[in-house]
Structure 1
Amino acid sequence: MTESLAGKSCTPCRGGIPPLTPETAEAYRAQAPDWALRDEATRIERTYRFRNFAEAFAFICRAARLAEAEAHHPDIGFGWGYATVSLRTKKIKGLHENDFIMAVKLDRLANAAADQVAD
């Protein structure tokens, strides 16, 4: 777990493995500290803030492309100035390393968008 999650890719999860324990999930969360453990550590969630609806929508479009590339698909809700992303591995009904890989990569997408707005 010492390797940066951002440098990893999601691996197919076929089920049959146990989800991460709450303690292990918390250790992974150290690389994605803005994400909250929810539902007894069976999913993680984060709400991103944007200046308007268009920025939130643009982020969602980039997130969708990333999800397709990683073959790991979050639940996403959005509206004016926000996007809420929830991750869990449905086949194991809990958290897997893939969820934290996606979280870190989504954070990078959001940070890159914020940097472009600031320029």
Structure 2
Amino acid sequence: IAEQVKRGDFYFLKKDDTTQRPLGGIPFAITSMTTGERHIVMSDQNGVVDTTAYPHSFNTNACDKALNTKGELDVSKLTAESGVWFSGQKTNGAHVNDGKGALVYDTYFVQELVVP
């Protein structure tokens, strides 16, 4: 029996520094420090990023299409309504499984992206 890779999910809230009000519609890049696999997520109307909010198989990693090869963001392609899935490799990793966590056990870098 092959060992199962540990997986998990995460949740965070984006707030305004001064007012502490939640900020929706903010994009973030989440990057695996081991593999370099990166996906884009966006905070919902309540400022929440939660990898369990939608099934991983629902519109999987839809926000990735918003970032072009020059690193420019097309905000019209962003949505908070999509599943997130890290395969564990840049290509050809684990298939999407709604019964497991979205992220492979690893260290991740989370970066807020500049909205044009």
Greater per-residue helix proportion: 1
TM-score by length of 1: 0.32
TM-score by length of 2: 0.32
